[in-house]
Amino acid sequence: MTEIEELSQFLALDMRLDVKALALQQTLGLTGTTDGRHLLINTPCIVKNLCQLLNDGQNSVAKDASLAIINLSADEEIIPALLAEATNIVEHMLKIISNPEHNLADPACMVLSNLTRSKLGSEKVFQSMEGNLDKYVDIFCQEKYNKKGARLHYLASVLSNLSQLPAVRSYILDPSRSCLQRLVSFTDYKDSISRRGAILGLIKNCCFETDHHEFLLSEAVDLLPKLLIPLAGPEEFDEEDNDKLPIDLQYLDEEKTREPDADIRKMLLEALTQLCATKFGREYLRSKNTYVILRELHKWEKNENVLVILEHLVNILIRFEHEIGHDNLKEVEIPDEITEKLNALEPAL
């Protein structure tokens, strides 16, 4: 028996506390190095035992076990081994997240956030949800769901990563469900940049589905004001311009501030740009006077990467449809080098 195999035996719920704690400290140390992580993942029962220790009655033991699993899940090379059926790691994490009385719901969200960065991980997690994504959207939307103080912000990253799968986008965009309608309310969520940023990533991924643009912009979802409000400042417009804006943007507070994070502003503009891929989307954005919000944003914006996206979007909106010449820009035959640049923006795993 190797030293690591011997170590794994001590990672058990019924092991004496001092022995278990010492074994866990050694294991946690090993997760801090690439060689250590590979050594652990190749040892039977290590991950399974760590998952069981998440339910240990001693909080310090359970917390150290969660840190070890987070470190392991952050190593992309070993994710396939982590996802092996014998570990049941995904099922363990989903169970913890679903339990409103569990102390480690936030670390469990972090683990799934790491695992779902890969296509394999996303597929495994979605499969383990057994077609009930609504359950986890419901948990996410209840800010005080967890009674032990977990905020579940990283569940937003899990949902965003999952949305890179076509099957998940189809699920979210199903008009018979209310998933998307509930999630779009977090585009201007002040208490967590990770929560609003990840949900915007999910929304942007959904905007690539051109067949659903009418649904996204319909009253059922009302996506346009959700994307424009974070980009709007305190500027006042004349009556004619103001009346054309979506109702939610007509009465903004004079102390209104814009989204402070440049990466999130960029995502908002990228989502709007995707909505302009269809003639319906372009005409709808024009009819709602999107241009004046973007014009004022352009005067204020200092980030060059954001300005590039902003100017491209404005260029689309100020052109006449006969100049554009196509209902759906994604169906236009374009040179290979341009295709490569566009594909780089597509939802990818």
CB-based burial, 184-218: b 16+ in 10 Å, e otherwise: bebbebeebeebbbbbbbbbbbbbbbbebbebbbe
CA of 189: how far to CAs of 16, 52, 205, 248, 253, in Å?
45, 35, 19, 16, 16
Residue 328 forms beta bridges with which residues?
278
pLDDT of 335 higher than 70: no
* 129 CA to centre of own chain: 17
Lowest-pLDDT range of 41-55, 156-170, 256-270, 290-304: 41-55
Residue 43 has pLDDT above 90, yes or no: no
What does the pLDDT read at residue 258?
97
Query: In degrees rounded to 5, what are phi and psi of residue 45?
Result: 80, -10
* Distance, CA of 115 to CA of 320 (rounded, Å): 45
Confidence (pLDDT) at 330: 58
Question: What residues contact residue 346 under an 8 Å CB cut-off, 6+ apart?
Answer: 208
CA–CA separation, 118 vs 80, rounded Å? 9
Percent of the chain with pLDDT over 70: 91
Condensed to tens digits (0 to 9), the pLDDT of residues 96-146 reads: 999 999 999 999 999 999 999 999 999 999 999 988 999 999 999 998 999
The pTM for the full model equals 0.90
- List, for residues 211-225, the tens digit of each pLDDT value: 999 999 999 999 999
**Residue that wins the pLDDT comparison between 343 and 270:** 270
Provide the pLDDT for residue 334.
Answer: 45
For 346, half-sphere exposure in the C-beta direction (CA atoms, 13 angstrom radius) is: 13
pLDDT tens digits, 146-198 = 999 999 999 999 999 999 999 999 999 999 999 999 999 999 899 999 999 99
In the prediction, which pLDDT does 4 show? 84
Q: Residue 284: is its pLDDT beyond 90?
A: yes
Local structure of residue 185 (DSSP, 8 states): G
Query: Residue 227 — pLDDT band, cuts 50, 70, 90?
Result: very high
Q: How confident is the model at residue 75 (pLDDT cuts 50, 70, 90)?
A: very high
- For residue 23, the model assigns a pLDDT of 95
Q: How many whole angstroms separate alpha carbon 270 and alpha carbon 113?
A: 23
Q: Given this model, what pLDDT does residue 328 score?
A: 62
Across the range 6-13, mean pLDDT stands at 92
Task: Name the band, by pLDDT with cuts 50, 70 and 90, for residue 85.
Answer: confident
* Least trusted range by pLDDT, from 39-43, 125-129, 143-147, 330-334: 330-334
CATH superfamily name and code, 88-208 = Leucine-rich Repeat Variant (1.25.10.10)
Which residue is listed with tokens 């683990």? 111
Gap between the Cα atoms of 307 and 184, Å rounded: 24
- Looking at the predicted structure, is the pLDDT value of residue 83 above 60? yes
Q: How many other β-carbons are positioned within 10 Å of the β-carbon of residue 110?
A: 23
pLDDT at 73: 97
Are the beta carbons of 136 and 177 closer than 8 angstroms? no
- Cα separation of 267 and 227, whole Å? 9
